[in-house]
A and B are shown apart, each in its own frame.
Chain A
Amino acid sequence: NAGVTQTPKFRVLKTGQSMTLLCAQDMNHEYMYWYRQDPGMGLRLIHYSVGEGTTAKGEVPDGYNVSRLKKQNFLLGLESAAPSQTSVYFCASSYSTRGEYEQYFGPGTRLTVT
């Protein structure tokens, strides 16, 4: 049981390049999330998904797109990377038995845009 995994762990992009971050979970969780973490600003929600085929915007969605084609995977895309997107990206998943939605996090992807 690997929990939540993220690929890649590190990446350096040039401004204007595109990339996709992959998140996978093997816990059969319905809900998945993408956050970014920046010094002094904490974690902020980018996009989330409440089930296969559904996605919604979070607090800071601009410049990102997501897809949830399979229940276990949640992809985060950057179509045209900007230096402001330099950050650490975390994926999380959760489930609810009694309305708890306890979140489980992946190890993160450190992205630098030059």
Chain B
Amino acid sequence: KQEVTQIPAALSVPEGENLVLNCSFTDSAIYNLQWFRQDPGKGLTSLLLIQSSQREQTSGRLNASLDKSSGRSTLYIAASQPGDSATYLCAVPFSGSARQLTFGSGTQLTVLP
């Protein structure tokens, strides 16, 4: 059964810092990995999707990497801003599936002005 872990559970940084969020998964036979952002009381917004054949995806100040062999992904946020404060979740498909997702519990990020 696929299990997804995100460490740390919470992170607080001053504005302007570069930071890394971590995601690990137990079954490396994945089709892809998706990073989401969730603001308090809101739904999830997809940030980046990395295919299993890719090692990195970039969108603006966000860069996600994927190392299937070690079962790890990182989300790098450059020059953090208070507006980046949210919970960040990673998700991978169920073992043997391409569609249903297993989620980590998330990292709650606070960027202090």
Please say whether chains A and B are actual partners in one complex: yes
Listed in ascending order, the chain A residues whose CB lies under 8 Å from chain B are: 4, 31, 33, 35, 40-45, 48, 50, 58, 90, 92, 94, 96, 98-108
Interface residues of B in 71-113 (CB under 8 A from A): 89, 91, 93-94, 98-106
**B32 (CB) vs chain A CBs: closest residue:** A100
Judging by beta carbons under 8 Å apart, are B44 and A31 in contact? no
Contacts of A42 in B (CB 8 A): 4, 89, 103-106
Q: Which B residues have a C-beta under 8 Å from some C-beta of A?
A: 4, 31-32, 34, 36, 41-46, 49, 51, 89, 91, 93-94, 98-106
Known: A42-B106, A100-B51. A105 touches B101 (CB 8 A): no
Q: With A42-B105, A43-B103, A99-B31 in contact, do A105 and B98 touch (Cβ < 8 Å)?
A: no
Q: Which residue of B lies closest to A44 (CB)?
A: B103
**Chain B's interface: helix, strand, loop or mixed, by majority?**
strand
| Distance from B13 Cβ to chain A, minimum over Cβ atoms (Å) | 23
Mostly helix, strand, loop or mixed at chain A's interface?
strand
Is B105 a contact partner of A41 (Cβ separation < 8 A)?
Answer: yes
9 tightest Cβ-Cβ pairs between the two chains A and B: A105-B44, A43-B103, A105-B43, A42-B105, A107-B43, A42-B103, A102-B49, A101-B99, A108-B43
- Say whether A45 contacts B98, CB under 8 Å: no
Nearest A residue to B105 via CB reads A42
6 other A-B residue contacts (CB within 8 Å) besides A35-B103, A42-B4, A107-B43: A42-B89, A43-B101, A58-B100, A96-B98, A102-B34, A102-B46
* Complex contacts, B46 vs chain A, CB 8 Å: 102-105
Q: Name the CB-closest residue of A to B44.
A: A105
Among A35, A94, A100, A105, which residue has its beta carbon within 8 angstroms of that of B45? Answer: A105
Shortest C-beta distance, B92 to chain A (Å), equals 11
27 contacts between A and B (CB under 8 A): A33-B100, A33-B101, A42-B89, A42-B104, A42-B105, A43-B91, A43-B101, A44-B103, A45-B94, A45-B100, A48-B100, A50-B99, A58-B100, A90-B44, A92-B44, A94-B99, A96-B98, A99-B32, A99-B98, A100-B49, A101-B32, A101-B93, A101-B99, A102-B49, A104-B46, A107-B43, A108-B43
